[in-house]
Structure 1
Amino acid sequence: MPPLMKTKLVLIFFFFGLLSIAAQTKVSGYIFDEYKEPVSFANVLFKGSTQGTITDENGKFYLESDETWSNLIVSFIGYETLDVPLAKRVNYDLNFTLKEEASALDQVLIVTGKQSKKNNPAIDLLRKIWENKRSNGLKQFKQYQYDKYEKVEFDINTIDSALIKSKLFRGMEFVFDQVDTSNVTGKTYLPMFINEAVSTVYGDNIINKEKNDLKGNKNSGFSDNQIIIDFVDDLYNDFNVYDNYLKFFDKSFVSPLSKTGINTYNYVLSDSSFIDNKWCYNIIYYPRRKNELTFKGDFWVADTTYAIKEINLQASKSANINWVKDIYIEQEFEVLNDSLFLVKRDYMMSDFAFSKKEKSRGVYGKRTTLYNNYVFDKEKDKKFYDVEVYNFDKDVYDRDDTFWSENRLESLNKDEQGVYKMLDTLKTVKKFKRLYNLGSILTSGYIEFNSLPLDYGPIFSTFGFNEVEGLRLRAGGRTYFGKNDLWRLEGFMAYGFRDDKVKYGISGKWLVDKKSRLIISGGNRRDVEQIGGASLTTSSDVLGRSLASSSVVGTSTNDKLTSINLTSLAVEAEPWRNVIFRLGGNYRTLESHRQLLV
Structure 2
Amino acid sequence: MTQRTLIFLAGLLWAAGASAQTTRVRGQVTDAADGKPLQFVSVVFPGTTTGITTDEQGIYALETRDTVSRVQASMVGYATRTLPLTPGTFNHVDFALEAVEFGIGQVVITPGENPAYPILDGVIRNKPLNDPERYDTYSCRTYTKMELDLTNIRPQFRSRRLQRNFGFVFDYVDTSALTGQAYLPAMISESTADLYRSSRPAFKREVIRASRISGVEDNFAAAQFTGGMHGDVNFYDNFIDIFNVRFASPLSDGGRAFYNYFLVDSMVTEGRKVYKIRFHPKRLTTPVLDGEVNIDSASYALQSASARMPKGVNVNWIRHLMLDNENRPADKGRWFRVHDRVSAEFSVSTADSSKLTSFIGTREVAYSDVRIGEPIPDEVLRMDNNVVVRDEEPGHRREEFWEQVRPYSLSEKEKGIYAMVDSVQHVPLYRNIYTLINT
Q: 2:313 aligns with which of 293, 306, 319?
A: 319
Query: How far apart in 1 are the matches of 2:269 and 2:144?
Result: 25
Say which of 383, 386, 394 aligns to 2:382. 386
1:369 aligns with 2:365: yes
Do residues 427 (structure 1) and 421 (structure 2) align? no
2:270 aligned to which of 268, 276, 294 = 276
Other-structure match for 1:395: 393
Matched, 1:84 2:71: no
- Structure 2 distance, partners of 1:297, 1:428, is 45
Letter of the 2:274 partner, please give it: C
Q: Are residue 127 (structure 1) and residue 148 (structure 2) matched?
A: no
Q: Give 3-state SS (helix, strand or coil) of 1:395's partner.
A: coil
Cα distance in 2 for residues equivalent to 1:273 and 1:438? 55
Q: Of 120, 127, 130, which residue of structure 2 is paired with 1:136?
A: 130
Residues 102, 179 of structure 1: CA spacing in aligned structure 2 closer, same or farther, 3 A cutoff? same
Question: Which deviations, in whole Å up to 9, do the C-alpha atoms of 1:26-69 show, x marking residues without a partner?
Answer: 65543212332211242334555555554343223455677886
Q: Distance in 2 between matches of 1:155 and 1:326?
A: 14
Q: What is the aligned counterpart of 2:253 among 238, 243, 259?
A: 259
For the residues of structure 1 that align with 2:7 and 2:219, how far apart are their CA atoms? 11
* Alpha-carbon distance between aligned partners in 2 of 1:142 and 1:377, rounded to the nearest angstrom: 6
**Other structure's SS at 2:409 match:** coil
Judged with a 3 Å threshold, the aligned counterparts in structure 2 of structure 1 residues 128 and 142 are, in CA distance, closer, same or farther, namely closer
In structure 2, what is the equivalent of residue 329 of structure 1?
323
Q: Does the alignment pair 1:437 with 2:432?
A: no
- Which residue type is aligned with residue 58 of structure 2? G
Question: How far apart are the structure 1 equivalents of 2:93 and 2:136?
Answer: 53
Describe the shift of the 1:392–1:344 C-alpha distance in structure 2 as closer, same or farther (beyond 3 A). Answer: closer
2:209 touches 2:390 (CA, 8 Å); kept in 1? no
Q: Aligned letter for 1:429?
A: V
Distance 1:150 1:383 in 2: 24
Q: Which residue does 1:502 correspond to in 2?
A: none
1:58, 1:83 → 2: CA distance? 20
Per the alignment, residue 405 of structure 1 pairs with: 403
Structure 1 window deviating more from structure 2 (411-420 vs 421-430): it is: 411-420
Question: CA deviation digits over 1:523-579, x for unaligned, max 9?
Answer: xxxxxxxxxxxxxxxxxxxxxxxxxxxxxxxxxxxxxxxxxxxxxxxxxxxxxxxxx
SS of equivalent to 1:268? strand
Q: Taking every aligned residue pair, what percent have the same amino acid on both sides?
A: 29
Question: What is the distance in 2 between the residues matched to 1:406 and 1:370?
Answer: 14
| Deviation sequence 1:177-204 (CA, Å, 0-9, x none) | 1211112221111222111111112233
Within-5 A mapping of 1:48-59? 52-59=51-58
Aligned residue for 2:342? Answer: 348
- Secondary structure at the residue paired with 1:387? coil
Q: Counterpart amino acid of 2:59?
A: K
Q: CA deviation at 1:171?
A: 2.3
Secondary structure of the structure 2 residue equivalent to 1:172: helix
Distance 1:92 1:346, change over 3 A: closer
Q: Which amino acid aligns with 1:370?
A: A
**Residue identity in the other structure for 1:83:** T
Q: Deviation string for 1:357-392 (max 9, x for gaps)?
A: 9x9641111111111112233324667413236676
Amino acid at match of 2:183: Y
Q: 2: distance between equivalents of 1:249 and 1:24?
A: 26
Amino acid across the alignment from 1:385: L
Cα RMSD (Å) of the superposition?
Answer: 3.7
**Structure 2 letter corresponding to 1:122:** A
Supply the distance in 1 between the matched residues of 2:90 and 2:364 (Cα, whole angstroms): 28
Q: How much does 1:175 deviate?
A: 0.7
Preserved contact between residue 39 and residue 57 of structure 1 (Cα < 8 Å): yes
Which AA in structure 2 matches 1:379? P
- The alignment of Structure 1 onto Structure 2 pairs a total of residues equal to 424
**Which whole-Å CA distance do the structure 2 matches of 1:408 and 1:85 have between them?**
29
CA contact (8 A) 2:238 2:254 kept: yes
SS at match of 2:149: strand
Higher mean displacement: 304-313 or 389-398: 389-398
Deviation of 1:265 after TM superposition, in Å, equals 0.9
Does structure 1 conserve the Cα–Cα contact (< 8 Å) formed by 2:16 and 2:188? no
Residue pairs, 1:290-305, within 5 angstroms: 290-305=284-299
8 Å contact kept, 2:295–2:304: yes
**Aligned partner of 1:260: which letter?**
G
Aligned-partner Cα distance in 1 for 2:106–2:344: 38
Change (3 A) 1:419 1:52: farther
1:15 to 10, 16, 24: 10
Higher relative contact order (CA 8 A, sep 6+): 2
Distance verdict in 2 for CA 1:220–1:63, change over 3 Å = same
Hey, what does 1:42 align to over in structure 2? 41
For the residue of structure 2 that corresponds to 1:267, the secondary structure is: strand
Q: CA deviation at 1:256?
A: 0.5
Gaps of 5+ in 2: none
TM-score after normalising by structure 2: 0.83
